[in-house]
Structure 1
Amino acid sequence: MMIDIFARDLAARYVALWNEPDAGLRRAAIRELWAEDGAHILHPPQEAREAAARVGFAASTFEAHGYDELELRVTRAYEDFVAPGVYVFRPGPDVVRLRDVVKFTWEMAPAGGGDAAGGGVEFLVLGRDGRIKADYQFPGL
């Protein structure tokens, strides 16, 4: 039987991970949120797909599997967007759960406040223990 998880809490912890400055805390949060064989599957923005196509790669998805790759993915996003002090990630208000799937939106907003500069939709497929088995990310509000 699926462990009962409050979808809003899960979405808040998930988004907080991407803002976490401490590498050790990020690593621990990844292990708490994802199953050991969990995956993050990103539908890359159009410009990324076009850049990959120019050099001969079909980039229909970008994928990270397992804790090491997930940590690299989250760390890179943190370093590129949050660490410079330009942006923060925040969850949207529209978190819903249907059986083993949690869906929510998120925003990338200026660190000083203001309107979102970007964002997307997240679909988290949960395992029986309540941890993420598959994380499908669709950037672009």
Structure 2
Amino acid sequence: MTATPALADRYLAAWNETDPAARRALVDALFTEDVRYTDPLADVSGREQLSGLIGAVQAQFPGFVFRPAGDADAHHDQVRFTWHLGPDGAEAPVTGFDVAVTDGDGRIATVLGFLDRVPS
């Protein structure tokens, strides 16, 4: 097993990092060079595009933070978790569910994202 529930915490930390250089360092450490991220609104490949996507989401939702919505579940090379995105300490208007698949070194190679609740 290369995926653990703690991987979800590291993943959300990367999505919450607002400093571009620090975020890129987290992305480089956590994701494979050719990572593929797909959700209903985005489909990107590679660390540079993923880091750019994270920055774009932060620009769209300034001041919002990602936080876990329950415990992550992992087996073999995959971890699934639900998250909220919203102002710190307030109800989150966005909720999603992600599945991350790791490579043999424990880095995330694929993310399949789903949006369960989004603002209209």
TM-score between both structures, scaled by the size of structure 1: 0.76
Is the Cα–Cα contact under 8 Å of residues 122 and 136 in structure 1 kept in the other structure?
yes
Deviation digits for residues 13-61 of structure 1 (CA, Å, limit 9, x no counterpart): 11111111211110011111110111111123xxxxxxxxxxxxxxxxx
Deviation, structure 1 residue 98:
1.7
Give the aligned partner of residue 51 of structure 1.
Answer: none
Task: Check conservation: 2:4, 2:75, Cα contact below 8 A.
Answer: no
Please state how far the C-alpha of 1:99 moved relative to its aligned partner.
0.8
Counterpart residue type for residue 13 of structure 2: A
Unaligned runs of 5+ in 1: 45-61
Query: Which SS does the other structure have where 2:49 is aligned?
Result: helix
1:67 maps to which residue? 47
Q: Could you tell me how far apart the structure 2 residues matched to 1:41 and 1:124 are?
A: 11
Counterpart selection for 2:75 from 98, 101, 124: 98
Per-residue deviation, residues 67-126 of structure 1 (Å, max 9, x unmatched): 111111111112221xx32x2111122200121110000001223x12221111000011
Q: Of the two, which has the highest radius of gyration?
A: 1
- The structure whose residues are more often helix, as a share, is 1
- TM value normalised by structure 2: 0.88
The root-mean-square deviation of aligned C-alpha atoms, in Å, is 1.5
1:114-129 pair list within 5 angstroms:
114-129=90-105
Give structure 1 regions of 4+ aligned residues with deviation exceeding 6 angstroms.
none
CA contact (8 A) 1:20 1:78 kept: no
Aligned residues: 117
Q: In structure 2, what is the Cα distance between the partners aligned to 1:101 and 1:76?
A: 26
Aligned-pair identity in percent equals 35
